[in-house]
Amino acid sequence: MTWLPGGGERRWAIAIVLALAALAPLPLAGPRDDVLNFVFLVLLSITLAQSWNIVAGYAGQVNLGHAAFFGLGALLTRALWTSGAPVVLAMLAGALLATAFALLIGVAAFRLRGAYFAIGTLALGEILRTTVSNVLPEISTLPAASIASYRLAHRYYLALILAAVSVLAVAVLASSRLGLGMRAIREDEAAAEASGVGALGLKLIALALSTGLAGLAGGLFAYYHISYYPAHPFGPQWTFDALLMTFIGGVGTLHGPVLGAVLYVLLKEYLAVRWVDFHLLIFGALFIAIVLLLPGGLVQAAARARRLVTPAR
């Protein structure tokens, strides 16, 4: 990926957080449930995409096992919350579990370069999914009392906060010295190492942040769904969704994954009516086009378009 965006993250962060804040009163306006569900899905997707973006866009590694951390977060959150723990604490615990696992395998995983890291993490994700699906094959359903007291608005607000947190996390990271160091690694690892940037340490920090956020997103998933198979959040489609959203929007940018997430969920929900996986056909093709022609994603396309319209300064 040679397209490397400059600053501007702070401005975008503020704009996005303001937009999210504007969405806050939505439940009070008494909309239909499916509208709230749709926005919830967008918010969850933003969080998931941003979490994946941290390792891919800023540390330059393609993590194909991301769903494992989403799943771990969901697993622990569900277990603790259904046992009576307050949901926020349960989610934090889930995030902690995800991060701990990430750091455990991170040192070994980062010994692998590029594509090997990608397929290695893919395998790891599959190992976890298969194991969980064998150990917990039964569907997890909320007890009747929880179903009765289910408030969609609570989930909605949590999703809103989480999306804002993920955007702010990326913004802070991008403009920090850590972020700059990570960008150096992403561009040229050998040179970065030589200049004293501790590559492994920085990658581990990126991984911790990324998987922690993914774990929180997983916790949110567990809080939201009434019933699901415990292995479901470990499925590779969650990784692929995050990858597609981030890449198509613009990997390594702040607003790219947000744009990609919105577009992705829109298309998915719209097209799912007639043809279940059609959105994947489109996104698959779009993805290929982006990798070959426009590695910076739609964000890069927009920047180019803007340059065509406004005269050079």
Partner 1 sequence: MSILAQQLVLGLLIGGLYGLAASGLSLIFGVMKVLNVAHGELIMLGGYGAFWLVALLGLDPFLTLALVIPGALLLGVGLYWGLFGFVVRADEETRVKNSLLIGFGLALALHALAVRLWTADERSVPTPYGGAVFTVGPLSIPAVRLLSLAIAFALILTLQLLLTRWRWGKAIRATAEDWQAALLTGIDVRRAYLLAFAMGTALAGAAGTLVTIGYSVSPSIGLEWTLKALIVVVLAGLGSMLGTFVGGLVLGVAEAASAAAFGGPYREVIGLVIFVVVLVVRPRGLFGR
CB of 250 to partner 1, least distance (A): 14
Widest pairwise Cα distance in the chain: 64
**292 lies in the site for partner 1, by CB under 8 A:** yes
> Of residues 14, 18, 19, 127, which one binds partner 1 by CB under 8 A?
127
Q: Is the Cβ of residue 153 or residue 288 nearer to partner 1 in the bound state?
A: 288
Site for partner 1 in 230-289 (CB under 8 A): 236, 240, 243-244, 247, 275-278, 280-281, 283-288
Q: Are 97 and 222 in contact (CB under 8 A)?
A: no
Q: Are 263 and 300 in contact (CB under 8 A)?
A: no
**191 lies in the site for partner 1, by CB under 8 A:** no
* Residue 156 neighbours by CB distance under 10 Å: 20
Closest CA to 50 of 175, 209, 176: 209
* Size, binding site for partner 1 by CB under 8 A: 40
DSSP β-bridge partners for residue 227: 141
> Of residues 126, 165, 262, 303, which one binds partner 1 by CB under 8 A?
126
Q: Where are the beta strands (DSSP E) in the chain?
A: 140-141, 227-228
**116 lies in the site for partner 1, by CB under 8 A:** yes
Q: Are 245 and 163 in contact (CB under 8 A)?
A: no
**168 lies in the site for partner 1, by CB under 8 A:** no
CB of 289 to partner 1, least distance (A): 8
Closest CA to 68 of 28, 41, 42, 104: 104
- Cα(293)–Cα(287) distance, rounded to whole angstroms? 10
**111 lies in the site for partner 1, by CB under 8 A:** yes
Q: Is the Cβ of residue 96 or residue 119 nearer to partner 1 in the bound state?
A: 119
Residue 70 buriedness (CB in 10 A; 0-12 / 13-18 / 19+): buried
Q: Is the Cβ of residue 120 or residue 233 nearer to partner 1 in the bound state?
A: 120
Which residues contribute to the site for partner 1 (CB under 8 A)? 62, 108-109, 111-116, 118-120, 122-124, 126-127, 130-131, 133-134, 236, 240, 243-244, 247, 275-278, 280-281, 283-288, 291-292
